[in-house]
Chains A and B, each alone.
Chain A
Amino acid sequence: MLVFLKIYRYNPEDGRTTPSFDTYNIDAQPTDRVLDLLEHVKGYIDGTLAFRRSCAHGVCGSDAMRINGRNLLACKVLVKDLGREITVEPILGLPVLKDMIVDMEPFFNSYKAMMPYLVNDEIPADGKERLQSPEDRERFDDTTKCIMCAACTTSCPVFWSDDQYVGPAAIVTAHRFIFDSRDTAAKDRLQILGDHGGAFRCRTAFNCTEACPREIHVTQAIAEVKQAIR
């Protein structure tokens, strides 16, 4: 099937300081990923097109983009689910560096601010695993799935307008530890998230939940964190 592909282009080094769109007519299979189309353009038509990708099946989190106005992973959305007209743009709210590549540093800095590691120095005397019931393990299962693709954070209207807000992904990370029965630093994380820029910046728009390619119930996780702060 013939696909009409519009790709956002921006490269100040090359004089393309004003964002513009390049358009391509591409003969695609309905089962092609959008990433396959981008690879086709880069390989056969214009090697200067820049985007990040690695695993190509929705696990590594490299290729979150705005596709037909929605945040999706380019490797996890197929042509047949989008139709003949496909527009690809970088995710919003992070500085664009070149084409689809945005500056991820602010995103990872928020992640790092969450104490994103288990805090518990006690190890069982026999040196074996700590025990955790299947129910306690299930309590935070959903938020262990996060691949840090930034699809949620960059779909959030509060994040777009408030550069103090840590964003949904950072709160998902905090949730994964706060509700892990083995962790002992929940209080510290809740204090961080109780501050300005924390969980109460969330206005429950649900954009994050809709954007998550891992189907994490992001808004619910944020609500659980808010509840725990109170």
Chain B
Amino acid sequence: MVQHHQHEVVIVGAGGAGLMAALYASRGADTAVLSKLYPTRSHTGTAQGGIGAALGNLEPDKVEWHTFDSVKGSDYLGDQDAIEYMCAQAVPVVYELEHMGLPFSRTKEGRIAQRRFGGHTNNETKQPVMRSCYAADRTGHMILQTLYQQCIKNKVHFYDEFHVLDLLMRDGVANGVVAVELATGDLHVFHAKAVVFATGGHGRIWELTSNAYAYTGDGVAITLRRGLPAQDLEFFQFHPTGIYRMGILITEGVRGEGGILVNNKGERFMERYAPTVKDLASRDVVSRAIYLEVRAGNGINGKRYVYLDMRPEVVNKYAEADGRTTPDGKPYRVTGEQLLAKVPDIVDFARTYLGVDPIKEPMPIQPTAHYAMGGIPTNMHAEVLADAKSTLVPGLYAAGEVACVSVHGANRLGTNSLLDIVVFGKEAGKRAAEYAKGAQFKPLDDDPTAFTREQLNRLLSGSGGERIVHIGEEMKLKMMDDVGVFRTAEGMKSAEEKVRELRQRFAKISVDDHGRKFNTDLLNAWELGCMLDVALATTISAEARQESRGAHAREDFPKRDDPNWMKHSLAWLDGDQVKLDYKPVVVTKYQPMERVY
């Protein structure tokens, strides 16, 4: 049975970007939010360390410094007009979150508390600056809760556990989506004037990841299948500090509070890789340093991990060595109790999953797949772009991790993802509602669910012999080995071949569950198909880029090559073929420079 609905604006995804879009769209248009999860389960809720904004609550800071740090962090691939906009909007949007009720941690004066984070500096002294506005180490949780609460207050219409499988378009204009209702297995057609994609990232294509099971690249895969490009997919961030063998995130805030990284010799090795800001260098820099340490035999006990040490005596020793002071000029010193209050969830994770009390012992960590800088191309108004000439796709918007504005370029700074979701989620909601007000519902095709049914029927009637889990595991391992922190032409070629083979085998998948209610087996299989599409486009985009920039580090092309490669890539998927094109980076006032920390 197919059920039909009509809403002026349909938002896909209920994390921070989707909810912020919903709040703003619902003020001007009939709006519905669809999520494959309950909204409060969204991955925004796992973000820990903070949201970046130059409030200057504890020490001098400027929007211009935040902007430059983000441009530099992006390794000069971010579009500077969009970064300027985001960093300027950061200040009012953080106040707006506070007005909505977000329970930020507070300074002695009662203002929003701020902490240091990787890559964020005072541009004059070059030293780390307190820019990350936080609520303990559950800032994302509090953003997600606050936005969901505001949506309830404003009576936003939710369709919970509705999994969107297709985008509907007519004559190049978006006019709806198709979703399966988990509880019944029924297909639903949502006819819309404007569609906002806010579906998050795709970190689950790698073996070791901080990402939720839900992060399967649905949004990018759906738009690729509808003939739209994906931008900068070769840039995927590996966060330096994931829990060893599990990938669970340990916030950079731990290093912001003074934690340091140590190798098997007990050496604070970041001094060699980033002499000025050391452990608070950008994430790509720190992840590579850990890989190189492990490769040089400096992993703890010869294994593939190093220690993140936040024991108070260690924090105090290195704070003294660095001459770190508090805002009132006194030497920076911490107690175990103070650290526990600053990062309580981290202490809990370490105790639960590692059996380690981080106040008394160091934590074993290794880099973990964390964040997609690439995604659906948009401009700074969250409008989706169809090609290298930036032709608009009328009625289609994207925001948050699924989108590539690009404000993160080749490497995102910590705290800029929470900022991205609220700034561009808001923009998407406002723009979608404005557009809907001046637009008519474009008629749907005669059989709008045809493509969705075709995909599901194939999975239900596969010839058998292949299980989802085998294909998924082989993909994750290969992507980790060959399209991970370090890359070579040879490795990526073999990854491409592997992904192609897995896509062929995927056609033979048969699922166990042929029922309708909560058929998570079928939907897991569909998600695997999305991941394979995104993995293929990622690998081919990465093979083509013959330079090292940000998170894309090639051993065979170790240098950044601005004359040839300071440009965004666009990838189209056509059956088994991936077609590439490129478009220039927007430069306003920051000319590329060598990137040292």
Binding site for B on A (CB under 8 A): 11, 13-14, 31, 42-44, 46-48, 50-62, 76, 78, 97-98, 101, 104, 108, 112, 116-118, 120, 123, 127-134, 137, 140-141, 144-145, 147-148, 176-177, 180, 182-183, 215
Using Cβ atoms and an 8 Å threshold, which residues of chain A touch B152? 112, 116-117
Using Cβ atoms and an 8 Å threshold, which residues of chain A touch B467? 43-44, 47
Instruction: Tell me if B104 counts as interface (CB < 8 A to partner A).
Output: yes
CB distance from A83 to the nearest CB of B (A): 16
Residue of B nearest to A30 (CB): B355
Contact partner of B111 (CB less than 8 A), chosen from A47, A62, A104, A129, is A129
Q: Mark B279-313, 1 if CB is under 8 A from A, else 0.
A: 00000000000000000000000000000000000
Using Cβ atoms and an 8 Å threshold, which residues of chain B touch A182? 101
Instruction: Tell me if B276 counts as interface (CB < 8 A to partner A).
Output: no
Q: Nearest 5 A-B pairs (CB), nearest first?
A: A118-B101, A47-B512, A43-B469, A131-B110, A47-B521
Instruction: Tell me if B43 counts as interface (CB < 8 A to partner A).
Output: yes
Give the total number of A-B pairs whose CB atoms are below 8 A apart.
Answer: 150
Instruction: Tell me if B106 counts as interface (CB < 8 A to partner A).
Output: yes
Instruction: Tell me if B515 counts as interface (CB < 8 A to partner A).
Output: yes
Interface segment out of the listed B77-85, B135-143, B415-423, B573-581: B135-143
Contact partner of A50 (CB less than 8 A), chosen from B141, B345, B518, is B518
Q: How far is the CA of A139 from the CA of B468 in the complex (A)?
A: 48
Using Cβ atoms and an 8 Å threshold, which residues of chain A touch B352? 58, 76, 78
- How many residues on B have C-beta within 8 angstroms of the other chain's C-beta atoms? 61
Q: How far is the CA of A104 from the CA of B516 in the complex (A)?
A: 19
Q: How far is the CA of A62 from the CA of B212 in the complex (A)?
A: 11
Instruction: Tell me if B272 counts as interface (CB < 8 A to partner A).
Output: no
Residue of A nearest to B140 (CB): A59
Interface segment out of the listed B33-41, B231-239, B390-398: B33-41
Pairwise interchain contact A48-B45, C-beta atoms closer than 8 A: no
Are A147 and B40 also in contact (CB < 8 A) when A44-B469, A123-B99 are?
Answer: yes
Are A140 and B103 also in contact (CB < 8 A) when A43-B468, A59-B141 are?
Answer: yes
Contact partner of A129 (CB less than 8 A), chosen from B95, B138, B248, is B95
Contact partner of A11 (CB less than 8 A), chosen from B149, B517, B524, is B517
Instruction: Tell me if B450 counts as interface (CB < 8 A to partner A).
Output: no
Residue of A nearest to B210 (CB): A57
Considering only residues 93-128 of chain B, those with a C-beta below 8 Å from chain A are 94-95, 98-101, 103-112
Using Cβ atoms and an 8 Å threshold, which residues of chain A touch B136? 141
Residue of B nearest to A127 (CB): B95
Instruction: Tell me if B46 counts as interface (CB < 8 A to partner A).
Output: yes
Contact partner of A47 (CB less than 8 A), chosen from B92, B94, B513, is B513
CB distance from B47 to the nearest CB of A (A): 10
A–B Cβ pairs within 8 angstroms, 16 of them: A47-B468, A54-B43, A55-B41, A58-B349, A59-B45, A62-B41, A76-B352, A98-B517, A118-B100, A128-B111, A129-B111, A137-B104, A137-B106, A144-B135, A144-B138, A148-B40
